[in-house]
Structure 1
Amino acid sequence: MVVERKFIKDKIREYVVKEYLIDHLNRVGFSHIDIQKTPVGYSVIIYSSKPGLIVGRKGINIKEIQDTLQNRFKLESPVIDVREVENPELDAQIMAERIGLQLSKFGVSRFKAIGHKALERMIECGAIGAEIKIAGKVPSTRARFWKFYGGYLPKCGDVAINMVKKGYNTVKLKPGVVGITVKLLPPGIRMPDQIYLREQPTVEVKEAKPEEVEKTVEEIKAKMPKKPKSQPEVSDNISEIEGREEKAAIEMVEEAVETMVAQKDPLAESDSEIEEMPDGEEFEETLTEENKEVLDKNAENASEEKQE
Protein backbone atom coordinates (compact mmCIF):
# COMPACT_ATOMS: atom_id res chain seq x y z
CA MET A 1 0.00 0.00 0.00
CA VAL A 2 2.89 2.36 0.67
CA VAL A 3 4.09 2.12 -2.94
CA GLU A 4 0.59 2.68 -4.33
CA ARG A 5 0.13 5.76 -2.16
CA LYS A 6 3.43 7.11 -3.44
CA PHE A 7 2.31 6.69 -7.08
CA ILE A 8 -1.01 8.39 -6.35
CA LYS A 9 0.75 11.24 -4.56
CA ASP A 10 3.10 11.77 -7.53
CA LYS A 11 0.21 11.84 -10.01
CA ILE A 12 -1.73 14.35 -7.90
CA ARG A 13 1.36 16.57 -7.66
CA GLU A 14 1.86 16.38 -11.43
CA TYR A 15 -1.77 17.34 -12.04
CA VAL A 16 -1.58 20.33 -9.69
CA VAL A 17 1.68 21.54 -11.27
CA LYS A 18 0.11 21.25 -14.72
CA GLU A 19 -2.92 23.32 -13.68
CA TYR A 20 -0.62 25.97 -12.25
CA LEU A 21 1.48 26.16 -15.43
CA ILE A 22 -1.64 26.38 -17.64
CA ASP A 23 -2.86 29.38 -15.65
CA HIS A 24 0.59 30.97 -15.34
CA LEU A 25 1.77 30.33 -18.92
CA ASN A 26 -1.27 31.72 -20.69
CA ARG A 27 -1.03 32.69 -24.37
CA VAL A 28 2.43 31.15 -24.89
CA GLY A 29 1.38 27.94 -26.68
CA PHE A 30 1.63 25.63 -23.67
CA SER A 31 1.12 21.94 -24.56
CA HIS A 32 1.98 19.61 -21.65
CA ILE A 33 4.67 18.85 -19.07
CA ASP A 34 6.71 15.82 -18.10
CA ILE A 35 8.02 15.45 -14.53
CA GLN A 36 10.90 13.01 -13.98
CA LYS A 37 12.60 11.99 -10.74
CA THR A 38 16.42 12.22 -10.83
CA PRO A 39 19.08 11.37 -8.21
CA VAL A 40 19.67 15.09 -7.68
CA GLY A 41 16.03 16.23 -7.62
CA TYR A 42 13.22 16.70 -10.17
CA SER A 43 13.38 17.45 -13.88
CA VAL A 44 10.39 19.35 -15.32
CA ILE A 45 10.14 19.38 -19.14
CA ILE A 46 7.72 21.94 -20.61
CA TYR A 47 6.52 21.51 -24.21
CA SER A 48 5.37 24.66 -25.98
CA SER A 49 4.99 26.16 -29.46
CA LYS A 50 6.66 29.40 -28.26
CA PRO A 51 9.58 28.44 -25.97
CA GLY A 52 11.11 31.92 -26.13
CA LEU A 53 8.15 33.48 -24.30
CA ILE A 54 8.36 30.90 -21.51
CA VAL A 55 12.08 31.44 -20.92
CA GLY A 56 11.77 35.24 -20.92
CA ARG A 57 14.55 37.80 -21.00
CA LYS A 58 17.69 36.34 -19.38
CA GLY A 59 15.65 33.44 -18.00
CA ILE A 60 13.61 35.53 -15.54
CA ASN A 61 10.44 33.46 -16.04
CA ILE A 62 12.32 30.18 -15.55
CA LYS A 63 13.76 31.34 -12.21
CA GLU A 64 10.33 32.46 -11.02
CA ILE A 65 8.78 29.09 -11.94
CA GLN A 66 11.62 27.20 -10.18
CA ASP A 67 11.08 29.14 -6.94
CA THR A 68 7.33 28.51 -7.06
CA LEU A 69 7.71 24.78 -7.67
CA GLN A 70 10.25 24.43 -4.86
CA ASN A 71 8.41 26.49 -2.22
CA ARG A 72 4.76 25.87 -3.04
CA PHE A 73 4.74 22.33 -4.45
CA LYS A 74 7.72 21.00 -2.43
CA LEU A 75 9.81 19.81 -5.40
CA GLU A 76 13.44 19.31 -4.44
CA SER A 77 15.85 21.36 -6.60
CA PRO A 78 13.68 21.38 -9.78
CA VAL A 79 15.44 21.77 -13.14
CA ILE A 80 13.22 23.19 -15.91
CA ASP A 81 13.77 22.36 -19.58
CA VAL A 82 11.70 23.99 -22.33
CA ARG A 83 11.22 22.16 -25.66
CA GLU A 84 9.46 23.21 -28.83
CA VAL A 85 6.52 21.30 -30.34
CA GLU A 86 7.23 20.42 -33.97
CA ASN A 87 3.61 20.36 -35.28
CA PRO A 88 1.38 22.60 -33.10
CA GLU A 89 -1.63 21.90 -35.37
CA LEU A 90 -1.52 18.25 -34.22
CA ASP A 91 -1.56 19.18 -30.50
CA ALA A 92 -5.05 19.39 -28.99
CA GLN A 93 -4.12 21.70 -26.07
CA ILE A 94 -2.38 24.24 -28.31
CA MET A 95 -5.31 24.29 -30.76
CA ALA A 96 -7.80 24.80 -27.91
CA GLU A 97 -5.74 27.77 -26.68
CA ARG A 98 -5.61 29.24 -30.23
CA ILE A 99 -9.39 28.96 -30.65
CA GLY A 100 -9.90 30.71 -27.29
CA LEU A 101 -7.57 33.56 -28.31
CA GLN A 102 -9.43 34.03 -31.61
CA LEU A 103 -12.82 34.08 -29.84
CA SER A 104 -11.60 36.73 -27.43
CA LYS A 105 -10.18 38.75 -30.34
CA PHE A 106 -12.99 38.54 -32.95
CA GLY A 107 -15.96 37.94 -30.66
CA VAL A 108 -18.62 35.24 -30.37
CA SER A 109 -20.34 36.21 -33.59
CA ARG A 110 -17.60 34.58 -35.73
CA PHE A 111 -17.29 31.32 -33.79
CA LYS A 112 -18.36 29.19 -36.80
CA ALA A 113 -15.61 30.52 -39.08
CA ILE A 114 -13.05 30.08 -36.31
CA GLY A 115 -14.13 26.48 -35.68
CA HIS A 116 -14.15 25.44 -39.36
CA LYS A 117 -10.71 27.00 -40.06
CA ALA A 118 -9.14 25.29 -37.04
CA LEU A 119 -10.65 21.95 -38.14
CA GLU A 120 -9.30 22.37 -41.69
CA ARG A 121 -5.78 23.06 -40.39
CA MET A 122 -5.76 19.88 -38.30
CA ILE A 123 -7.01 17.71 -41.19
CA GLU A 124 -4.54 19.27 -43.66
CA CYS A 125 -1.61 18.59 -41.32
CA GLY A 126 -2.40 14.85 -41.37
CA ALA A 127 -4.86 14.22 -38.53
CA ILE A 128 -7.00 11.13 -39.12
CA GLY A 129 -9.98 12.71 -37.38
CA ALA A 130 -10.76 15.78 -35.26
CA GLU A 131 -13.61 17.30 -33.27
CA ILE A 132 -14.05 20.79 -31.79
CA LYS A 133 -16.75 21.54 -29.21
CA ILE A 134 -17.61 25.12 -28.19
CA ALA A 135 -20.00 25.39 -25.24
CA GLY A 136 -21.50 28.50 -23.57
CA LYS A 137 -23.69 31.45 -24.49
CA VAL A 138 -22.79 31.19 -28.14
CA PRO A 139 -24.34 33.11 -29.85
CA SER A 140 -27.62 33.42 -27.92
CA THR A 141 -28.32 34.36 -24.33
CA ARG A 142 -28.98 30.70 -23.46
CA ALA A 143 -26.11 28.27 -23.00
CA ARG A 144 -25.67 25.64 -25.72
CA PHE A 145 -22.84 23.83 -27.52
CA TRP A 146 -21.66 23.55 -31.13
CA LYS A 147 -19.62 20.72 -32.68
CA PHE A 148 -17.27 20.80 -35.66
CA TYR A 149 -15.91 17.40 -36.69
CA GLY A 150 -14.20 15.81 -39.65
CA GLY A 151 -12.40 12.61 -40.59
CA TYR A 152 -12.56 9.42 -38.55
CA LEU A 153 -12.55 9.76 -34.75
CA PRO A 154 -13.46 6.71 -32.61
CA LYS A 155 -15.62 7.38 -29.54
CA CYS A 156 -15.01 4.19 -27.57
CA GLY A 157 -12.45 1.43 -27.15
CA ASP A 158 -8.72 1.42 -26.50
CA VAL A 159 -7.96 3.86 -29.34
CA ALA A 160 -10.39 6.48 -27.97
CA ILE A 161 -8.98 6.18 -24.44
CA ASN A 162 -5.22 6.01 -25.04
CA MET A 163 -4.51 7.37 -28.54
CA VAL A 164 -6.93 10.26 -29.01
CA LYS A 165 -5.40 13.54 -27.83
CA LYS A 166 -7.59 15.88 -25.79
CA GLY A 167 -7.28 19.58 -24.99
CA TYR A 168 -9.42 21.92 -22.91
CA ASN A 169 -9.50 25.69 -22.43
CA THR A 170 -11.83 28.34 -21.03
CA VAL A 171 -12.25 31.95 -22.10
CA LYS A 172 -14.08 34.77 -20.28
CA LEU A 173 -16.14 36.87 -22.72
CA LYS A 174 -18.91 39.47 -22.34
CA PRO A 175 -21.77 36.92 -22.56
CA GLY A 176 -20.02 34.68 -20.04
CA VAL A 177 -17.50 31.86 -19.81
CA VAL A 178 -16.99 29.77 -22.99
CA GLY A 179 -15.46 26.30 -22.84
CA ILE A 180 -13.47 24.80 -25.74
CA THR A 181 -12.75 21.07 -26.07
CA VAL A 182 -10.57 19.68 -28.87
CA LYS A 183 -10.08 15.99 -29.73
CA LEU A 184 -7.91 14.67 -32.53
CA LEU A 185 -6.42 11.40 -33.69
CA PRO A 186 -2.82 11.98 -34.83
CA PRO A 187 -1.41 10.31 -37.97
CA GLY A 188 0.63 7.12 -37.97
CA ILE A 189 -1.72 5.13 -35.71
CA ARG A 190 -2.64 1.63 -36.86
CA MET A 191 -6.31 1.00 -36.22
CA PRO A 192 -7.36 -2.48 -35.03
CA ASP A 193 -10.14 -2.75 -37.66
CA GLN A 194 -7.89 -1.96 -40.62
CA ILE A 195 -6.49 -4.73 -42.81
CA TYR A 196 -3.16 -4.26 -44.58
CA LEU A 197 -2.22 -6.48 -47.55
CA ARG A 198 1.43 -7.20 -48.15
CA GLU A 199 2.52 -6.97 -51.75
CA GLN A 200 4.68 -9.82 -52.97
CA PRO A 201 7.85 -8.62 -54.69
CA THR A 202 7.93 -9.30 -58.43
CA VAL A 203 11.17 -10.58 -59.92
CA GLU A 204 11.83 -9.96 -63.62
CA VAL A 205 14.17 -12.36 -65.41
CA LYS A 206 15.86 -11.12 -68.58
CA GLU A 207 18.11 -12.97 -71.00
CA ALA A 208 21.61 -11.60 -70.96
CA LYS A 209 23.46 -11.05 -74.23
CA PRO A 210 26.80 -12.82 -74.76
CA GLU A 211 28.61 -9.47 -75.00
CA GLU A 212 27.24 -8.39 -71.63
CA VAL A 213 28.21 -11.73 -70.09
CA GLU A 214 31.78 -11.37 -71.34
CA LYS A 215 32.00 -7.86 -69.93
CA THR A 216 30.73 -8.96 -66.55
CA VAL A 217 33.20 -11.88 -66.48
CA GLU A 218 36.09 -9.54 -67.32
CA GLU A 219 35.01 -7.09 -64.62
CA ILE A 220 34.82 -9.88 -62.04
CA LYS A 221 38.27 -11.14 -63.01
CA ALA A 222 39.69 -7.63 -62.75
CA LYS A 223 38.21 -7.19 -59.27
CA MET A 224 39.48 -10.56 -58.02
CA PRO A 225 42.75 -10.34 -56.04
CA LYS A 226 45.84 -11.75 -57.70
CA LYS A 227 47.14 -15.03 -56.31
CA PRO A 228 50.61 -14.91 -54.75
CA LYS A 229 53.39 -16.93 -56.29
CA SER A 230 53.07 -20.48 -55.06
CA GLN A 231 56.04 -21.83 -53.16
CA PRO A 232 57.35 -25.27 -54.11
CA GLU A 233 55.54 -27.99 -52.25
CA VAL A 234 57.22 -30.62 -50.10
CA SER A 235 56.27 -33.42 -52.52
CA ASP A 236 58.10 -31.66 -55.38
CA ASN A 237 61.24 -31.35 -53.27
CA ILE A 238 61.10 -35.06 -52.33
CA SER A 239 60.76 -36.16 -55.98
CA GLU A 240 63.76 -34.02 -56.95
CA ILE A 241 65.85 -35.58 -54.16
CA GLU A 242 64.84 -39.10 -55.20
CA GLY A 243 65.78 -38.39 -58.84
CA ARG A 244 69.18 -37.12 -57.77
CA GLU A 245 69.79 -40.27 -55.69
CA GLU A 246 68.86 -42.52 -58.63
CA LYS A 247 71.24 -40.67 -60.93
CA ALA A 248 74.02 -40.95 -58.37
CA ALA A 249 73.39 -44.74 -58.01
CA ILE A 250 73.46 -45.25 -61.80
CA GLU A 251 76.70 -43.34 -62.05
CA MET A 252 78.23 -45.49 -59.32
CA VAL A 253 77.19 -48.71 -61.13
CA GLU A 254 78.65 -47.47 -64.40
CA GLU A 255 81.91 -46.60 -62.67
CA ALA A 256 82.03 -50.10 -61.11
CA VAL A 257 81.47 -51.76 -64.52
CA GLU A 258 84.20 -49.69 -66.06
CA THR A 259 86.63 -50.67 -63.31
CA MET A 260 85.76 -54.36 -63.79
CA VAL A 261 86.43 -54.15 -67.52
CA ALA A 262 89.66 -52.36 -66.89
CA GLN A 263 90.83 -55.12 -64.47
CA LYS A 264 89.85 -57.94 -66.97
CA ASP A 265 87.54 -59.75 -64.63
CA PRO A 266 86.99 -63.45 -65.50
CA LEU A 267 83.27 -62.87 -65.46
CA ALA A 268 83.70 -60.35 -68.24
CA GLU A 269 85.78 -62.93 -70.24
CA SER A 270 83.01 -65.57 -69.87
CA ASP A 271 80.54 -63.01 -71.13
CA SER A 272 82.72 -62.37 -74.19
CA GLU A 273 82.95 -66.12 -74.83
CA ILE A 274 79.20 -66.46 -74.69
CA GLU A 275 78.89 -63.65 -77.20
CA GLU A 276 81.41 -65.45 -79.51
CA MET A 277 79.51 -68.83 -79.55
CA PRO A 278 78.46 -70.01 -83.06
CA ASP A 279 74.84 -69.82 -84.23
CA GLY A 280 72.75 -71.87 -86.71
CA GLU A 281 74.65 -73.81 -89.44
CA GLU A 282 78.03 -73.14 -87.86
CA PHE A 283 76.80 -74.96 -84.71
CA GLU A 284 75.75 -78.04 -86.76
CA GLU A 285 79.18 -78.32 -88.42
CA THR A 286 80.84 -78.43 -85.04
CA LEU A 287 78.75 -81.47 -83.93
CA THR A 288 80.53 -84.87 -83.98
CA GLU A 289 79.28 -88.01 -85.78
CA GLU A 290 78.26 -89.68 -82.51
CA ASN A 291 76.07 -86.77 -81.57
CA LYS A 292 74.40 -86.92 -85.00
CA GLU A 293 73.58 -90.64 -84.57
CA VAL A 294 72.00 -89.94 -81.17
CA LEU A 295 69.85 -87.22 -82.61
CA ASP A 296 68.66 -89.44 -85.47
CA LYS A 297 67.64 -92.24 -83.08
CA ASN A 298 65.68 -89.81 -80.92
CA ALA A 299 63.80 -88.58 -83.98
CA GLU A 300 62.87 -92.18 -85.08
CA ASN A 301 61.59 -93.06 -81.61
CA ALA A 302 59.42 -89.95 -81.55
CA SER A 303 57.85 -90.82 -84.96
CA GLU A 304 57.05 -94.40 -83.86
CA GLU A 305 55.31 -93.19 -80.73
CA LYS A 306 53.16 -90.91 -82.83
CA GLN A 307 52.13 -93.76 -85.17
CA GLU A 308 51.09 -95.97 -82.22
Structure 2
Amino acid sequence: MEERKTVQLKKDEFSIREYIKTNLGKGKVSKVRIEYTPVGEKIIVSTNKPGLVIGKKGEKIEELTSVLKKRFKLENPHIEIDEIKKVEFDAQLIADEIALTLERMGPLKFKVISYRVLQRIVGAGALGVEIKLSGKLPSSRAKTWRFAQGLLKKTGDPAKVVDKAQAVANTKPGVVGISVSILSPDAILLDKVDINGALLTKVRSNRASVMIEKELEKEKESVKKEKKVSQEIKETKKAKIKTNKPIEGDIKND
Protein backbone atom coordinates (compact mmCIF):
# COMPACT_ATOMS: atom_id res chain seq x y z
CA MET A 1 0.00 0.00 0.00
CA GLU A 2 2.80 2.42 0.90
CA GLU A 3 4.52 1.79 -2.43
CA ARG A 4 1.30 2.48 -4.34
CA LYS A 5 0.76 5.70 -2.40
CA THR A 6 4.33 6.81 -3.18
CA VAL A 7 3.94 6.03 -6.88
CA GLN A 8 0.61 7.86 -7.02
CA LEU A 9 2.10 10.86 -5.20
CA LYS A 10 4.98 11.08 -7.67
CA LYS A 11 2.56 10.81 -10.60
CA ASP A 12 0.46 13.64 -9.18
CA GLU A 13 3.57 15.79 -8.67
CA PHE A 14 4.65 15.16 -12.27
CA SER A 15 1.21 16.08 -13.63
CA ILE A 16 1.20 19.28 -11.50
CA ARG A 17 4.61 20.29 -12.88
CA GLU A 18 3.57 19.62 -16.47
CA TYR A 19 0.31 21.52 -16.05
CA ILE A 20 2.05 24.60 -14.60
CA LYS A 21 4.67 24.61 -17.36
CA THR A 22 2.13 24.22 -20.18
CA ASN A 23 -0.27 26.74 -18.63
CA LEU A 24 2.38 29.45 -18.18
CA GLY A 25 4.01 28.74 -21.55
CA LYS A 26 7.27 27.34 -22.91
CA GLY A 27 10.38 29.31 -22.04
CA LYS A 28 8.91 31.00 -18.96
CA VAL A 29 9.34 28.32 -16.27
CA SER A 30 12.57 26.50 -15.45
CA LYS A 31 11.71 24.29 -12.47
CA VAL A 32 8.68 23.55 -10.29
CA ARG A 33 9.38 22.24 -6.78
CA ILE A 34 6.71 20.92 -4.43
CA GLU A 35 7.22 20.95 -0.67
CA TYR A 36 4.79 19.65 1.93
CA THR A 37 4.34 21.65 5.13
CA PRO A 38 1.93 21.32 8.10
CA VAL A 39 0.00 24.35 6.79
CA GLY A 40 -0.34 23.03 3.22
CA GLU A 41 1.52 22.50 -0.04
CA LYS A 42 4.21 24.98 -1.07
CA ILE A 43 4.84 25.15 -4.83
CA ILE A 44 8.01 27.04 -5.81
CA VAL A 45 8.12 28.18 -9.45
CA SER A 46 11.56 29.18 -10.79
CA THR A 47 11.25 31.69 -13.62
CA ASN A 48 13.08 34.60 -15.23
CA LYS A 49 9.79 36.47 -15.88
CA PRO A 50 7.98 36.74 -12.54
CA GLY A 51 5.67 39.47 -13.82
CA LEU A 52 4.20 37.20 -16.52
CA VAL A 53 3.78 34.34 -14.06
CA ILE A 54 2.07 36.46 -11.38
CA GLY A 55 -0.13 38.37 -13.81
CA LYS A 56 -1.99 41.64 -13.31
CA LYS A 57 -2.76 42.02 -9.59
CA GLY A 58 -1.96 38.32 -9.08
CA GLU A 59 -4.70 37.02 -11.41
CA LYS A 60 -2.67 34.09 -12.78
CA ILE A 61 -1.55 33.02 -9.31
CA GLU A 62 -5.15 32.97 -8.09
CA GLU A 63 -6.27 31.07 -11.18
CA LEU A 64 -3.50 28.48 -10.72
CA THR A 65 -4.34 28.08 -7.03
CA SER A 66 -8.02 27.42 -7.74
CA VAL A 67 -7.15 24.88 -10.49
CA LEU A 68 -4.72 23.07 -8.17
CA LYS A 69 -7.43 22.83 -5.52
CA LYS A 70 -10.18 21.56 -7.82
CA ARG A 71 -8.31 19.46 -10.39
CA PHE A 72 -5.44 18.05 -8.29
CA LYS A 73 -7.30 18.09 -4.94
CA LEU A 74 -4.66 20.01 -3.01
CA GLU A 75 -5.87 21.25 0.37
CA ASN A 76 -4.05 24.59 0.72
CA PRO A 77 -1.61 25.24 -2.17
CA HIS A 78 0.66 28.25 -1.77
CA ILE A 79 2.61 29.37 -4.88
CA GLU A 80 5.95 31.14 -4.46
CA ILE A 81 8.07 32.73 -7.21
CA ASP A 82 11.82 32.15 -7.36
CA GLU A 83 13.32 34.68 -9.77
CA ILE A 84 16.24 33.52 -11.94
CA LYS A 85 18.57 36.48 -12.41
CA LYS A 86 21.14 34.80 -14.69
CA VAL A 87 19.30 33.07 -17.52
CA GLU A 88 22.54 31.95 -19.23
CA PHE A 89 23.28 29.47 -16.41
CA ASP A 90 19.83 27.79 -16.46
CA ALA A 91 19.81 24.80 -18.82
CA GLN A 92 16.01 24.48 -19.06
CA LEU A 93 15.43 28.10 -20.06
CA ILE A 94 18.22 27.88 -22.65
CA ALA A 95 16.80 24.63 -24.10
CA ASP A 96 13.31 26.17 -24.32
CA GLU A 97 14.78 29.28 -25.96
CA ILE A 98 16.50 27.18 -28.65
CA ALA A 99 13.28 25.21 -29.21
CA LEU A 100 11.20 28.37 -29.65
CA THR A 101 13.79 29.88 -32.01
CA LEU A 102 13.86 26.72 -34.15
CA GLU A 103 10.06 26.70 -34.34
CA ARG A 104 10.02 30.37 -35.38
CA MET A 105 13.01 30.50 -37.76
CA GLY A 106 13.03 26.89 -38.98
CA PRO A 107 15.67 24.15 -38.65
CA LEU A 108 17.84 25.37 -41.54
CA LYS A 109 19.57 27.96 -39.33
CA PHE A 110 20.22 25.57 -36.44
CA LYS A 111 24.00 26.16 -36.53
CA VAL A 112 23.67 29.94 -36.29
CA ILE A 113 21.17 29.61 -33.42
CA SER A 114 23.33 27.12 -31.51
CA TYR A 115 26.59 29.04 -31.89
CA ARG A 116 24.98 32.32 -30.83
CA VAL A 117 23.57 30.75 -27.68
CA LEU A 118 26.89 29.00 -27.00
CA GLN A 119 28.90 32.24 -27.28
CA ARG A 120 26.41 34.06 -25.06
CA ILE A 121 26.65 31.45 -22.30
CA VAL A 122 30.47 31.32 -22.42
CA GLY A 123 30.62 35.13 -22.49
CA ALA A 124 28.49 35.23 -19.32
CA GLY A 125 31.22 33.24 -17.52
CA ALA A 126 30.13 29.60 -17.71
CA LEU A 127 32.93 27.04 -17.25
CA GLY A 128 31.53 24.65 -19.85
CA VAL A 129 28.58 24.25 -22.25
CA GLU A 130 27.25 21.43 -24.41
CA ILE A 131 24.29 21.69 -26.81
CA LYS A 132 22.96 18.64 -28.68
CA LEU A 133 20.35 18.78 -31.43
CA SER A 134 18.81 15.56 -32.77
CA GLY A 135 16.44 15.38 -35.72
CA LYS A 136 16.14 16.12 -39.41
CA LEU A 137 18.84 18.78 -39.48
CA PRO A 138 18.88 19.70 -42.32
CA SER A 139 18.67 16.47 -44.35
CA SER A 140 15.75 14.05 -44.57
CA ARG A 141 17.56 11.60 -42.27
CA ALA A 142 17.81 12.19 -38.54
CA LYS A 143 21.20 13.22 -37.26
CA THR A 144 22.75 14.47 -34.00
CA TRP A 145 24.78 17.68 -33.93
CA ARG A 146 26.96 18.63 -30.96
CA PHE A 147 28.18 22.12 -30.03
CA ALA A 148 30.48 22.36 -27.01
CA GLN A 149 33.04 24.63 -25.41
CA GLY A 150 34.95 24.69 -22.12
CA LEU A 151 35.12 22.17 -19.28
CA LEU A 152 32.21 19.81 -18.65
CA LYS A 153 32.25 16.93 -16.16
CA LYS A 154 30.67 13.74 -17.48
CA THR A 155 31.11 11.15 -14.72
CA GLY A 156 31.47 10.88 -10.95
CA ASP A 157 30.35 13.32 -8.27
CA PRO A 158 31.45 16.45 -10.24
CA ALA A 159 28.88 15.53 -12.93
CA LYS A 160 26.09 16.14 -10.39
CA VAL A 161 26.77 19.89 -10.33
CA VAL A 162 26.20 20.15 -14.11
CA ASP A 163 22.77 21.59 -14.91
CA LYS A 164 21.07 19.46 -17.58
CA ALA A 165 17.76 19.91 -19.40
CA GLN A 166 15.85 18.72 -22.47
CA ALA A 167 13.30 20.35 -24.76
CA VAL A 168 11.41 19.53 -27.95
CA ALA A 169 10.92 21.75 -31.00
CA ASN A 170 8.04 20.94 -33.37
CA THR A 171 9.26 22.06 -36.80
CA LYS A 172 7.83 21.47 -40.28
CA PRO A 173 10.34 18.71 -41.28
CA GLY A 174 9.84 16.93 -37.95
CA VAL A 175 10.52 16.92 -34.24
CA VAL A 176 13.92 18.17 -33.01
CA GLY A 177 15.22 17.05 -29.62
CA ILE A 178 17.37 19.54 -27.70
CA SER A 179 19.71 18.67 -24.84
CA VAL A 180 21.64 21.36 -22.93
CA SER A 181 24.32 20.95 -20.24
CA ILE A 182 25.86 23.94 -18.44
CA LEU A 183 28.57 24.12 -15.78
CA SER A 184 28.13 27.47 -14.02
CA PRO A 185 31.07 29.36 -12.46
CA ASP A 186 29.45 29.00 -9.01
CA ALA A 187 29.62 25.19 -9.18
CA ILE A 188 31.68 23.59 -6.40
CA LEU A 189 34.29 21.21 -7.85
CA LEU A 190 36.35 18.93 -5.63
CA ASP A 191 39.50 19.27 -7.74
CA LYS A 192 39.29 23.06 -7.92
CA VAL A 193 41.78 24.98 -5.77
CA ASP A 194 40.93 28.54 -4.72
CA ILE A 195 43.90 30.75 -3.81
CA ASN A 196 43.49 33.82 -1.65
CA GLY A 197 44.59 36.87 -3.67
CA ALA A 198 45.97 38.81 -0.69
CA LEU A 199 47.92 35.78 0.49
CA LEU A 200 49.28 35.21 -3.01
CA THR A 201 50.54 38.79 -3.30
CA LYS A 202 52.14 38.51 0.15
CA VAL A 203 53.91 35.28 -0.83
CA ARG A 204 55.13 36.85 -4.07
CA SER A 205 56.45 39.93 -2.26
CA ASN A 206 58.25 37.72 0.29
CA ARG A 207 59.68 35.64 -2.51
CA ALA A 208 60.88 38.77 -4.31
CA SER A 209 62.54 40.10 -1.12
CA VAL A 210 64.27 36.74 -0.58
CA MET A 211 65.53 36.77 -4.17
CA ILE A 212 66.85 40.32 -3.74
CA GLU A 213 68.67 39.33 -0.54
CA LYS A 214 70.24 36.36 -2.33
CA GLU A 215 71.39 38.60 -5.18
CA LEU A 216 72.94 41.05 -2.69
CA GLU A 217 74.76 38.22 -0.94
CA LYS A 218 76.08 36.98 -4.28
CA GLU A 219 77.34 40.49 -5.11
CA LYS A 220 79.06 40.76 -1.72
CA GLU A 221 80.73 37.38 -2.21
CA SER A 222 81.89 38.36 -5.69
CA VAL A 223 83.35 41.66 -4.34
CA LYS A 224 85.17 39.72 -1.60
CA LYS A 225 86.57 37.30 -4.19
CA GLU A 226 87.75 40.17 -6.38
CA LYS A 227 89.50 41.83 -3.40
CA LYS A 228 91.11 38.54 -2.45
CA VAL A 229 92.34 37.95 -6.01
CA SER A 230 93.73 41.48 -6.28
CA GLN A 231 95.50 41.06 -2.93
CA GLU A 232 97.05 37.80 -4.09
CA ILE A 233 98.20 39.45 -7.33
CA LYS A 234 99.86 42.25 -5.34
CA GLU A 235 101.65 39.76 -3.07
CA THR A 236 102.91 37.73 -6.03
CA LYS A 237 104.25 40.89 -7.68
CA LYS A 238 106.07 41.87 -4.48
CA ALA A 239 107.56 38.39 -4.21
CA LYS A 240 108.82 38.55 -7.80
CA ILE A 241 110.43 41.93 -7.19
CA LYS A 242 112.25 40.58 -4.12
CA THR A 243 113.56 37.53 -5.99
CA ASN A 244 114.79 39.58 -9.01
CA LYS A 245 116.67 42.19 -6.83
CA PRO A 246 120.58 41.74 -7.20
CA ILE A 247 122.76 40.93 -4.15
CA GLU A 248 125.68 43.38 -3.23
CA GLY A 249 128.32 40.65 -2.76
CA ASP A 250 127.75 39.32 -6.24
CA ILE A 251 128.24 42.79 -7.81
CA LYS A 252 131.65 43.33 -6.05
CA ASN A 253 132.97 39.98 -7.18
CA ASP A 254 132.24 40.88 -10.73
The answer to whether the superposition gives a TM-score over 0.5 is yes
Q: Which has the higher Rg, Structure 1 or Structure 2?
A: 1
Task: Name the counterpart of 1:175.
Answer: 173
SS at match of 2:189: coil
Tell me which residue corresponds to 2:75. 76
> Which ranges in structure 2 are unaligned for 5 or more consecutive residues?
207-254
Alignment length, in residue pairs? 202
Residue 46 of structure 1: aligned partner = 45
Q: How far off is 1:24 after superposition?
A: 2.0
- Of structures 1 and 2, the one scoring higher in RCO (CA 8 A, sep 6+) is 2
Amino acid at match of 1:111: F
**2:140 is paired with a residue of what secondary structure?**
coil
Native 8 Å contact 1:62 1:80 kept in 2: yes
SS at match of 1:63: helix
Q: Kindly indicate whether the alpha-carbon contact (under 8 Å) linking 1:50 and 1:84 is maintained by their aligned counterparts in 2.
A: yes
Cα shift at 1:109: 0.9
Q: 1:84 to 1:195 in 2, by over 3 A?
A: closer
The residue type equivalent to 1:176 in the other structure is: G
- Partner AA of 2:188 in structure 1: R
Deviations 1:241-274 (A, max 9, x none): xxxxxxxxxxxxxxxxxxxxxxxxxxxxxxxxxx
* Partner Cα distance (1:15, 1:157) in 2: 27
Q: Shift in Å at residue 58 of structure 1?
A: 3.0
Name the amino acid aligned to 2:53: I
Aligned-partner SS, 2:172: coil
Matched, 1:187 2:164: no
Report how far residue 7 of structure 1 moved.
5.8
Q: What are structure 1's unaligned runs of at least 5 residues?
A: 205-308
- Identity of matched residues, %: 40
Change beyond 3 A, Cα 1:150–1:37: same
Matches within 5 A, 1:11-160: 11-160=10-159
Q: Normalising by the residue count of structure 2, what TM-score does the alignment of the two structures yield?
A: 0.71
**What TM-score do you get using the length of structure 1 for normalisation?**
0.60
Q: 1:147 to 1:45 in 2, by over 3 A?
A: same
Q: Tell me, what secondary structure is at the counterpart of 1:135? A: strand
> Once superposed, what is the RMSD of the aligned Cα atoms?
2.4
Shift of 1:11: 4.1
